[in-house]
Amino acid sequence: MSLFSVATLAAGRVFPGAEEIPFDDKGYTTINPILPPLKELIPGTMASIIVFTLLAWKAGPIIRESLRKRTAGIQKQLDDATAAKAAAETEAVRIRQAQGDIDAERGRLYAEADAQAEALLADGRVRLAAEVAELEARADADIASAAGRSSDELRSEIAKHSGSAVDAIVRDTLDDAAQQELIENFIARVGASQGVTS
Amino acid sequence: MSGDAMIEGYARALFEVARAEGTLDEVEDELFRFARSYESSDALRNALTDEHIPAEKRQAIVEDLLGGKTTTTTIQLVSMVVGSGRSRDIPAIVDSLVARASSAKQLDVAEVRTAVALTDDQQARLKAALENATGKSINLKTVVDPSVVGGVVATIGDTVIDDTVRTRIEQLKSRL
């Protein structure tokens, strides 16, 4: 028989229940569906007190220390979280500022690119206009030159053919009599002149 | 020795040989005609200046060409110049020889170019006319040059009397 059974039997003897049912081999029974018979209630209560007192005495500091450490850990986690939140907010501010800077830089770059593109466009237009003017002038000069050249070539061609024609006609005309006449004329003319020197 | 000095040297040698032979006038005239033919004939010029043809062969060409038509002295002199590799200088050497011969006779050389050959009478009258015009004694050298087409061009030293059809045609072409 266990200590609990012994205590229960002793309590049953000291505090008998009104509606108590006699003890059998299985213990005391009661007809109350909630409360046990007094013989079990009293020692059970005392045992519980003892057990809880012992627990409070022996395990309490350990549990308190554990709870304190746990509280400290949670507090630390809360502090860390707060610090992290503050850092995150700082970072967010920095990022927002950086984003603002980026937006400003982007705007500046866009403005600069627009200005450069405008300048290039203006320069290109000026250069294109100059090139077009130069090309037009050159084309005009080429046309004038070609016209002049054609005219010169035509004149030259006419002169060449005329010269060839004259050459051929004169050679055909110069028979022996004409040759002799030319020679005689030369002799007569030179003979008539005097003082021919270099 | 420079080119001019060499040409003068050959001219003097040819002059002395011809004078020693007593055929200076004839040789001078023949050499002058040969020089003009050399100038006007590409084939003759190429044959006499071709380094690939042996000198003996070039001399044989000269002898074939002039044999029976000129004096032996002329043939020997031209052959000597060709054999010594101075064919290119024949005109200059001959001109120098003619000038030297004329100078020795107190004459000025008058080179007359015509399209057709002049008769002896025409040559005599032309010589007299040129002497009258220039006041100099003339050693007349005639050249038949078809390129003048017609008329006469006479060159006496630096004086040129040009009355050729070629010149008139050139002037007409220039005006055209």
CATH code of residue B72: 1.10.520.20
Which of B157, B169, B176 has the CB atom closest to A198's CB atom? B157
Q: Which residue from B132, B165, B176 is facing A174, i.e. has the nearest CB?
A: B165
Task: Please check whether residue A33 touches B, CB under 8 A.
Answer: no
Q: Say if residue B53 is in the same domain as residue B125.
A: no
Number of other residues whose CB lies within 10 A of the CB of residue B157: 14
**Do B111 and B50 reside in the same domain of the chain?**
no
CB-based contacts of B157-164 (< 8 A; 24+ apart in sequence): B157/A198, B157/B108, B157/B109, B158/A198, B159/A196, B159/A197, B159/A198, B159/B134, B161/A186, B161/A190, B161/A196, B161/B130, B161/B133, B163/A182, B163/A185, B163/A186, B163/A189, B164/B113
Residues of B within 8 A of A190 (CB-CB) are: 126, 129-130, 132-133, 154, 161
Q: Which residues pair with A94 in a beta bridge?
A: none
Q: Looking at the structure, do residues B47 and B31 belong to the same domain, yes or no?
A: yes
Which is nearest to B101 in space by CA: B17, B40, B159? B17
Give, as one character, the DSSP assignment of residue B160: E
Q: What is the mean pLDDT of residues B73-96?
A: 91
Distances (CA, A) of B109 to A73, B33, B155: 139, 14, 8
Distance from CA of A157 to the nearest CA of B (A): 10
Which amino acid is residue B146, in one-letter code? P
Of the candidates B126, B151, B169, the beta carbon closest to that of A182 is on: B151
Across the interface, whether the CB atoms of A186 and B152 are under 8 A apart is answered yes
Query: Are residues B96 and B120 part of one domain?
Result: no
Verify that B132 and B89 share a domain, yes or no: no
Close Cβ partners of A32 (under 8 Å, ≥ 6 residues apart): A19
CA-based nearest residue in chain A for residue B158:
A198
The reported pLDDT for the residue numbered A149 is 81
Is residue B31 within 8 A of residue B94, CB to CB? The reply is: yes
Whether residues B2 and B62 share a domain: the answer is yes
| Out of A159, A191, A198, closest to residue B173 by CB | A159
In sequence order, what are the beta bridge partners of B112?
B142, B154
By residue range, what is the domain housing residue B78?
1-105
Do B27 and B87 lie in a common domain? yes
Instruction: Mutate one of B108, B112, B125 to test the A interface: name it (highest A CB count within 10 A).
Output: B125
**B18 and B73 Cβ atoms separated by less than 8 Å:** yes
Calpha distance B31→B15 (Å, rounded): 11
Q: What is the dihedral of CA A164, A170, A185, B133, to 10 degrees?
A: 10
Looking at the structure, tell me whether residues B99 and B118 fall in a common domain. no
Last residue of a domain, one of B88, B105, B122: B105
Averaged pLDDT score across all residues of chain B = 89
Whether the predicted pLDDT of B12 surpasses 70: yes
Beta carbons of B169 and A158 less than 8 Å apart: no
Cα distance from A143 to chain B (closest Cα, Å)?
A: 25
- Asked if residue B137 and residue B112 are part of one domain, the reply reads yes
10 Å CB burial of residue B154 (0-12, 13-18, 19+) is buried
Would you tell me the crossing angle of helices B55-66 and B72-83 to the nearest 10 degrees? Answer: 160
Query: Structural domain tally of chain B?
Result: 2
Judge whether B146 is closer than 8 Å to chain A, CB to CB: no
Which of B114, B161, B165, B170 would best serve as a mutation to test chain A binding (most A beta carbons within 10 A)? Answer: B165
Same domain, B113 and B93: no
- Our CA-based measurement puts residue A124 at a distance from the nearest CA of chain B, in whole angstroms, of 51
Backbone angles phi, psi at B151, to 5 degrees: 85, -165
B122 and B97, same domain (yes or no): no
Option in A178, A180, A187 nearest B125 (CB): A187
CA B111, CA B44: separation in Å to the nearest integer?
A: 22
Whether B24 and B101 have beta carbons less than 8 Å apart is answered as yes
Mark yes or no for CB contact A183/B132 under 8 Å: no
Domain final residue pick, B53, B70, B105:
B105
Per-residue pLDDT of chain A (198 residues; tens, 9 = 90+): 555 556 555 655 555 544 556 666 766 666 677 877 777 888 989 999 999 999 889 988 998 999 999 999 999 999 999 999 999 999 999 998 888 888 888 899 999 999 999 999 999 999 999 999 999 999 999 888 888 888 888 888 887 888 778 778 888 888 888 899 999 999 999 888 876 654
Residue A68 is given by DSSP the state H
Interface test with A, best of B109, B119, B134 (most A CBs within 10 A): B134
Asked if residue B13 and residue B89 are part of one domain, the reply reads yes
Q: Closest by alpha carbon to B168, among A28, A88, B176?
A: B176
Last residue of a domain, one of B73, B105, B137: B105
CB-closest option in A167, A176, A193 to B133: A193
> Residue B51's pLDDT is what?
85
pTM of the model: 0.52
- A14: which 2 tokens? 């000291």
- Give the pairing type, strands A27-29 and B159-164: unpaired
The terminus-to-terminus CA distance of chain A in angstroms comes to 177
Predicted pLDDT of residue A26: 67
Average pLDDT over residues B132-145: 89
